[in-house]
Amino acid sequence: MGATGCMTFSWDDGHPSDMRVGELLDRHGLNGTFYIPMLARTGTMSVGRLRDLSRRFEMGGHTLHHLSLTKLSNPLAESEIHDGKTWMEQVTGQTCSMFCPPAGQYERKHLRMIAKAGFIGVRTIELLSLGYPRRACGLAIMPTTIQAKDHAPTTIIKHLLKRISLRGLWSYIVRGGVAGQWEPLARRMLERTAQIGGVFHLWGHSWELESEEQWSRLERILQLMGQMKGQLPCLSNGEICRRWGASSETLRNSQNLTRFAPPA
């Protein structure tokens, strides 16, 4: 069986610069999901712009006020999850089916709240995975591959050790991540997806792309991904969860995909 893979993006927080990201994705014929709260400290785009973006891209829930679920009481966490979805659906007139917990922080009880609110999938901040979504509490849980941000190598290593992802850690070192720059790492992971299949998932915050260097890095990656989309279709997060987030076969494939072969 040949390797089947796909690509996706997600952008968090709804900063006005998301419009620029949307234009770039459009230019290269790429797809993805924007996770947007009604209010965030970093600033959010106007409702009119959000509606405009929602005509071309999937919009996901990110709580109503961009609050970390683990710091809220249960009733407040539940209403933040639910009300963020209701608000988004009122603005866009479309079903909001994907959710991303602010700061990537959630516990198992929050997954039950997210499922109860009617979402089908959750995007996490797990890095360096090419895995398909896995099932938990009736939801498809999506890991990611690369964040469009230079992390200090120690931050990534700490992050991977915290979730005991030794495979991710190993892959990070082998793929040259120790240099700390996201663009070359993204290129290597993209090549790997073309070889072995899986989901290449690039995510970020447009407010973090503010330096010219970051925008030009993003443009170079988007150009490459635009060239590869014949081989690796580019889908929204929700499309991937609907297509691959349900079966146990997916889970088996997913486990194989995170088990990287040693370098030749």
Q: Least Å distance between CB 79 and Zn ion? A: 18
Given the complex with Zn ion, which of 34 and 182 has the nearer CB atom?
34
Q: Least Å distance between CB 239 and Zn ion? A: 22
**In Å, how far are 19, 34, 97, 112, 211 from 45, measured between CA atoms?**
8, 12, 21, 30, 19
When asked if residue 60 is in the footprint of Zn ion (CB under 5 A), the reply is no
Given the complex with Zn ion, which of 131 and 204 has the nearer CB atom?
204
When asked if residue 12 is in the footprint of Zn ion (CB under 5 A), the reply is yes
How many chain residues touch Zn ion (CB under 5 A)? 3
When asked if residue 80 is in the footprint of Zn ion (CB under 5 A), the reply is no
Residue 139 main-chain phi, psi, to 5 deg: -120, 155
When asked if residue 239 is in the footprint of Zn ion (CB under 5 A), the reply is no
When asked if residue 18 is in the footprint of Zn ion (CB under 5 A), the reply is no
CA distance 211 to 202: 18
CA distance 30 to 8: 8
Write out the H or E segment, with its range, that includes residue 36.
Answer: strand 33-36
Which one of the spans 4-12, 75-83, 143-151, 188-196 is the region binding Zn ion (CB under 5 A)? 4-12
Given the complex with Zn ion, which of 198 and 204 has the nearer CB atom?
204
Given the complex with Zn ion, which of 102 and 143 has the nearer CB atom?
102
When asked if residue 102 is in the footprint of Zn ion (CB under 5 A), the reply is yes
CA distance 25 to 53: 11
CA distance 190 to 128: 11
